[in-house]
């Protein structure tokens, strides 16, 4: 027994020795890992949670100047506002926090607008199923008190939600990926055409899902597992919070530190347009990616946006940034350049206001106006109506229901553009006036109702029509044709032509606009009476080749190179393709297409002793201390100084003795010409109010022009004639400019 006992003791001692060695090895290993190599392992662990992020550059500002004060005003700038967000995992008393946060964040005006939007969307679903009376009973707007109570409830629910309801795993999945994920048949994973979603509360096993999905989605298993847990560590309570509200919330964080430890603020930069809709089409705006679209925001996007820097941020398992204090800047951002426009703030405001009144009074579809300095090519004003506010550009895309009677429904047509059908309501069959409709089909009854853009034109309001719209200039172009004849064909102002009735050219009859005839008249009287018969004579004196060469010299059928991306070239067929009738009609501005910027630039050449200047709207580009100043650029001499002076005198006579008597200013000489051009339907010209494009171009004082004005109204319905709808507008703008520039009387 003693022998056996000794053997057992030896075995026990041996076992203890082995165990001691094993434990020792484990302890040494832990010591090595936790003490000696601690820093290295922490660094490695952190590398798994870190990622590089862009450090946003400050976008350059855009300025407009005021001639009288010399002061620069911001048209586009950046504002920094806080986003208030919460980490529900750090909030133990959601009701306590919600009761204090919600009243501060609630905005009654925003809530009422959101309520109106909600009712509008619900109306779309009900309009084909219920009568208007039934809809009114169902869709009752909530009171301000009810909206505030709902907002409080929403904030409370956000603060309480520790697990996210939905997570987007992949945007724009391929067909193959969608098929592969569907085949896994995993509860809580939804495959849509546009994205693959996860619903954490329905997922039965995060690790299992992560293993199966990780390789397919190209997401590391550990990270995907963390994502699928759906921990709600970041929920936005409100964006663009006013500074005084943030200050009050910050005081709550100090006063109620334990309860408010999950409330935080994040500064975000937004583009802001302090002058609201002023020069909106010149400016453009930023899309959701903070890139400029339309206007100079687009054409100078790279210069304005600068160069982003790089910083290293600490991320959570789902790849979200979780701290800013320990971030390391790898490369500093380079701020964007500032732009200084040639526009004059006071002139721009005045021209926009006058143009809006003219469009409304004449019931035109749209209008544009330009004021240019003829000696430099500077654009002093570039106005559009209708217009929009770039701070709320999305509102131009808002739609509203339109109730159609049975007769109106018969006037609905479809047009195919690029393979896509578009629906229109023809408002006037004769003038071809129409608005776009959007059919809404009921899922339950298949009944159809229609919506239209609230502004009638949708995104069309964003376009800078001064550079992107082409039109037939009509009789304004007679000034250009006559200048060419004076310069190159030996025509003189006193040369006579017989206008005793319509003439036949090819198979077409050419006549004056009103069918009136004047007998033997001079070239000056041809312009005074806007005489097509006389212009046919001038065209034949020129000949196609010479005429075409000068048209090109004036800058037509090519871009002016003003600083916009969407400038159109217009269209003038080469002279060897012209029929004799086209030679004639081109002489009075038909059968050719131009842009307003081309037309005002050409007229400016006449006001500038025959010298064509390149139009421009950017005065300076300032990058820190580097200032790039734009100098006026001469394109070339189009006609001689003598020709320009002679043509100017003829245009003054148009105002003093011709059809533009309404433009007479006591003490000032004005040179101007109007144009009324036809529009077409199915290749056939239309006539009458609501069918014409009306335009007018002129400059003053005639002997030393300080400004050139071009105005254009599209399809005015109060009158078809340019002189009727545009003379008052031209007078208003020129009166203002005489006073603004303190121009002394010259006649």
pLDDT tens for each residue of 67-76? 988 999 999 9
- How many residues are there in the chain? 747
Residue 406's pLDDT band (cuts 50, 70, 90): confident
Residue where a domain stops, chosen among 331, 347, 381: 331
Count of domains forming the chain: 4
> Of 265-279, 284-298, 656-670, which gets the smallest average pLDDT?
656-670
On the question of pLDDT at 31 being above 60, the answer is: no
Q: What is the mean pLDDT of residues 496-518?
A: 92
On the question of pLDDT at 534 being above 50, the answer is: yes
Q: What is the pLDDT of residue 329?
A: 59
More confident residue, 1 or 696: 696
Q: What is the pLDDT of residue 582?
A: 95
Q: What is the pLDDT of residue 444?
A: 72
- Same domain flag for 717 and 613: yes
Q: What is the mean pLDDT of residues 127-148?
A: 81
Domain assignment of residue 585, yes or no: yes
Domain assignment of residue 356, yes or no: no
Question: Whole-model pTM?
Answer: 0.82
- Same domain flag for 436 and 569: no
Give every strand in the sheet of 399-402, ordered side by side. Answer: 399-402, 448-453, 433-441, 420-428, 412-417
- Same domain flag for 410 and 507: no
Residue where a domain stops, chosen among 275, 305, 331: 331
The three-class DSSP label of residue 330 is strand
Q: What is the mean pLDDT of residues 490-507?
A: 94
- Same domain flag for 177 and 99: yes
User: Residues 57, 307: contact at Cβ < 8 Å?
Assistant: yes
Residue 241's pLDDT band (cuts 50, 70, 90): very high
Q: What is the mean pLDDT of residues 92-98?
A: 94
Q: What is the pLDDT of residue 310?
A: 72
Q: What is the pLDDT of residue 133?
A: 76
The pLDDT tens digits for 365-400 are 999 999 999 999 999 999 999 999 999 999 999 998
On the question of pLDDT at 48 being above 50, the answer is: no
Q: What is the pLDDT of residue 733?
A: 97
In angstroms, rounded to a whole number, what is the distance separating the alpha carbons of residues 617 and 590? Answer: 29
Q: What is the pLDDT of residue 47?
A: 42
On the question of pLDDT at 19 being above 80, the answer is: no
What's the Cα-to-Cα distance from 143 to each of 103, 107, 136, rounded to whole Å? 16, 13, 15
* Alpha carbon of residue 446 to chain centroid: 35
Domain assignment of residue 138, yes or no: yes
Q: What is the pLDDT of residue 573?
A: 95
Q: What is the mean pLDDT of residues 244-256?
A: 94
Q: What is the mean pLDDT of residues 676-698?
A: 90
In angstroms, rounded to a whole number, what is the distance separating the alpha carbons of residues 440 and 322? Answer: 44
Q: What is the mean pLDDT of residues 306-311?
A: 78
Q: What is the pLDDT of residue 332?
A: 76
In angstroms, rounded to a whole number, what is the distance separating the alpha carbons of residues 734 and 727? Answer: 10
Q: What is the pLDDT of residue 327?
A: 53
Domain assignment of residue 521, yes or no: yes
Q: What is the CATH number of the domain that holds 475?
A: 3.40.710.10
Residue 94's pLDDT band (cuts 50, 70, 90): very high
Q: What is the mean pLDDT of residues 322-337?
A: 66
- Same domain flag for 25 and 102: no
Domain assignment of residue 643, yes or no: yes
Nearest Cα to Cα of residue 483 among 265, 641, 666, 697: 641
The pLDDT tens digits for 198-222 are 999 998 888 899 899 988 998 999 9
Percent over 90 (pLDDT), the chain: 67
Taking the chain, what is the end-to-end CA distance rounded to the nearest angstrom?
A: 143
Q: What is the mean pLDDT of residues 58-66?
A: 95
- Same domain flag for 444 and 560: no
Q: What is the mean pLDDT of residues 553-581?
A: 95
- Same domain flag for 64 and 15: no
> Of 427-431, 659-663, 681-685, 700-704, which gets the smallest average pLDDT?
659-663
On the question of pLDDT at 420 being above 90, the answer is: no
The pLDDT tens digits for 443-487 are 777 778 899 999 999 999 999 999 999 999 999 999 999 999 999
Query: Please, which residues have CB within 8 angstroms of residue 77's CB and are 6 or more apart in sequence?
Result: 61, 62, 271, 272, 273, 274
The three-class DSSP label of residue 249 is helix
Burial of 710 (0-12, 13-18, 19+ CB in 10 A): buried
What's the Cα-to-Cα distance from 636 to each of 357, 556, 646, 708, rounded to whole Å? 37, 14, 19, 19
More confident residue, 437 or 10: 437
Q: What is the pLDDT of residue 38?
A: 40
Residue 233's pLDDT band (cuts 50, 70, 90): confident
- Same domain flag for 183 and 306: yes
In angstroms, rounded to a whole number, what is the distance separating the alpha carbons of residues 180 and 681? Answer: 53
Q: Residue 41, Cβ neighbours under 10 Å: how many?
A: 12
Q: What is the mean pLDDT of residues 88-103?
A: 94
Q: What is the pLDDT of residue 6?
A: 52
- Same domain flag for 238 and 304: yes
Q: What is the mean pLDDT of the chain?
A: 88
Residue 56's pLDDT band (cuts 50, 70, 90): confident
Q: What is the mean pLDDT of residues 717-739?
A: 94
In angstroms, rounded to a whole number, what is the distance separating the alpha carbons of residues 539 and 68? Answer: 45
- Domain span at residue 31 reads 1-36
- Same domain flag for 473 and 611: yes
Q: What is the pLDDT of residue 443?
A: 72
Residue where a domain stops, chosen among 311, 331, 351: 331
In angstroms, rounded to a whole number, what is the distance separating the alpha carbons of residues 144 and 161? Answer: 26
- Same domain flag for 166 and 294: yes
Burial of 568 (0-12, 13-18, 19+ CB in 10 A): middle
- Same domain flag for 715 and 613: yes
On the question of pLDDT at 127 being above 50, the answer is: yes
Residue 15's pLDDT band (cuts 50, 70, 90): very low
Q: What is the pLDDT of residue 33?
A: 39
> Of 45-54, 343-352, 476-485, which gets the smallest average pLDDT?
45-54
On the question of pLDDT at 326 being above 80, the answer is: no
The three-class DSSP label of residue 737 is helix
Q: What is the pLDDT of residue 429?
A: 85
Q: What is the mean pLDDT of residues 122-131?
A: 74
Q: What is the mean pLDDT of residues 609-629?
A: 96
């Amino acid at each position: 027994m003693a022998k056996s006992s000794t053997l057992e003791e030896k075995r026990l001692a041996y076992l203890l020795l082995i165990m001691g060695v094993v434990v020792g090895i484990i302890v040494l290993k832990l010591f090595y890992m936790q003490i000696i190599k601690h820093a290295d392992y922490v660094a490695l662990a952190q590398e798994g949670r870190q990622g590089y992020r862009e450090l946003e550059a400050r976008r350059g500002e855009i300025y407009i100047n005021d001639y009288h004060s010399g002061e620069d005003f911001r048209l586009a700038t950046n504002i920094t506002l806080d986003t208030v967000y919460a980490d529900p995992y750090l909030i133990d008393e959601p009701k306590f926090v919600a009761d204090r946060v919600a009243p501060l964040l609630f905005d009654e005006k925003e809530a009422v607008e959101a309520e109106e939007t909600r009712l509008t969307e619900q109306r779309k679903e009900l309009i084909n199923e219920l009568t208007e009376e039934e809809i009114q009973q169902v869709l009752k707007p909530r009171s301000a008190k009810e909206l505030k109570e709902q907002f409080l409830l929403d904030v409370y629910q956000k603060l309480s939600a520790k697990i996210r309801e939905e997570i987007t795993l992949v945007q724009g999945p391929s067909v193959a990926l969608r098929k592969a994920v569907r085949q896994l048949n995993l509860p809580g994973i939804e495959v849509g055409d546009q994205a693959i979603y996860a619903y954490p509360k329905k997922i039965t096993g995060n690790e299992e899902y992560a293993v199966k999905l990780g390789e397919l989605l190209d997401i590391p298993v550990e990270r995907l597992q963390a994502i699928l847990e759906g921990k709600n560590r970041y929920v936005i309570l409100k964006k663009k919070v006013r500074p005084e509200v943030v200050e009050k919330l910050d005081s709550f964080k100090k006063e109620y530190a334990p309860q408010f430890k999950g409330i935080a603020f994040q500064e975000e930069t937004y583009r802001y347009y302090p002058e609201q809709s002023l020069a909106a089409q010149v400016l453009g705006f930023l899309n959701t990616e903070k890139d400029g679209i339309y206007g100079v925001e687009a054409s100078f996007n790279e210069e304005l946006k600068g160069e982003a820097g790089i910083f290293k941020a600490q991320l959570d398992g789902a790849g979200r940034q979780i701290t800013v204090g320990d971030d390391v800047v790898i490369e500093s951002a380079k701020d964007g350049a500032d732009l200084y426009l040639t526009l004059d703030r006071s002139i721009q405001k005045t021209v926009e206001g006058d143009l809006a009144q003219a469009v409304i009074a004449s019931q035109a579809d749209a209008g544009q106006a330009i004021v240019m300095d003829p000696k430099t090519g500077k654009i002093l004003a570039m106005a559009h109506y209708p217009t929009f506010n770039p701070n709320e550009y999305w509102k131009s895309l808002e739609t509203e229901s339109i109730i159609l009677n049975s007769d109106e429904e018969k006037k609905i047509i479809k047009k195919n553009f690029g393979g896509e059908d578009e629906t229109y309501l023809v408002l006037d069959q004769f003038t071809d006036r129409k608005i776009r409709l959007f059919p809404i089909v009921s899922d339950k009854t298949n009944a159809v109702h229609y919506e239209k853009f609230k502004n009638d034109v949708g995104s069309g309001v964003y376009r800078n029509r001064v550079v992107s719209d082409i039109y037939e200039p009509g009789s304004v172009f007679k000034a250009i044709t006559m200048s060419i004849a004076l310069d190159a064909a030996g025509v003189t102002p006193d040369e006579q032509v017989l206008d005793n009735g319509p003439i036949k050219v090819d198979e077409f009859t050419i006549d004056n606009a009103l069918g009136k005839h004047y007998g033997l008249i001079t070239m000056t009287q041809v312009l005074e009476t806007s005489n097509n018969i006389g212009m046919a004579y001038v065209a034949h004196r020129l000949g196609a080749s010479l005429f075409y060469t000068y048209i090109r010299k004036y800058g037509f059928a090519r871009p002016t190179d003003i600083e916009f991306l969407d400038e159109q070239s217009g269209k003038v067929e080469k002279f060897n393709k012209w029929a004799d009738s086209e030679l004639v009609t081109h002489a009075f501005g038909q059968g050719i297409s131009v842009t307003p910027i081309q037309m005002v630039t050409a007229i400016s050449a006449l006001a500038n002793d025959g010298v064509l200047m390149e139009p421009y709207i950017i005065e300076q580009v300032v990058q820190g201390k580097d200032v790039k100043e734009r100098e006026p650029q001469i394109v070339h001499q189009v006609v001689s100084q003598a020709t320009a002076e002679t043509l100017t005198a003829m245009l003054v006579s148009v105002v003093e003795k011709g059809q533009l008597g309404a433009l007479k200013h006591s003490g000032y000489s004005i040179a101007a010409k109007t144009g009324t051009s036809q529009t077409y339907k199915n290749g056939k010209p239309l006539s009458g109010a609501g069918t014409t494009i009306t335009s007018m171009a002129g400059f003053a004082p005639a002997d030393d022009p300080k400004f050139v004005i071009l105005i254009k109204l599209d399809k005015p319905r109060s009158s078809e004639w340019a002189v009727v709808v545009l003379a008052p507008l031209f007078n208003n703008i020129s009166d203002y400019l005489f006073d603004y520039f303190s121009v002394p009387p010259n006649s």
